Amino acid sequence: MQAKTIFERLKNGEIISPTDNEAYKMREASFVTKKLLVKMNNASNPVEIRKFLSQITETEIDESVTVFTPLHINYGKHTKIGKNVFINFDSVFLDLGGITIEDNVLIAPKVSLLTEGHPTSIEDRHSLIPKPIYIKKNAWIGANSTILSGVTIGENAVVAAGAVVSEDVPDNTIVGGIPAKFIKNIKP
């Protein structure tokens, strides 16, 4: 049986120690992604932007997807983007833990999707804890919001501008604040 790569282990939620024999591969992969990001973020043609994003994610990005660059991604291959998704300027995706964005999602400017965290204990602080982010259909993530690792944003949900989301958001609700709290239900 072949041993799993560090990227498979991350996708499976394994905590990675800084002394892991494959830890260096995360930085190497980030620099490969960075080369493509520089090209993508300097492109102005939407078809070309999608082509670069397809290379970064190693998936086919549908022609209905719009990305206003710059977009910053540290790995890319753990990001899945559905159809009719809009990603506005200056968003940051740390995706080693996995990011899934379903169809018809709106992502406003300066949104951070952070699937990676660290232990609070001093001796383990440099370990990496990956947990996926899942954004369901027709969600709207407001400007300058931060979605933390392990969070699911429900279908039709709205995250108010500036929110920091550390817990799951139910379908058809609006949340806001730091930390994000329930504001109201939305009629589907």
Which residues are marked as active site? 118
124: DSSP letter:
G
Q: Give the β-pairing of 112-114 and 146-147.
A: parallel
Give the whole-angstrom CA distance, residue 22 versus residue 18: 9
Give the whole-angstrom CA distance, residue 104 versus residue 175: 19
- 124-159 burial code (b ≥16 CB/10 A, e <16): eeebbbbbbbbbbbbbbbbbebbbbbbbbbbbbbbb
| Short-list 31, 28, 30, 49, CA closest to 40 | 49
Reduced to 3 states, what is the DSSP secondary structure of residue 46? helix
| Short-list 76, 84, 93, CA closest to 133 | 93
| Short-list 112, 126, 15, 122, CA closest to 73 | 112
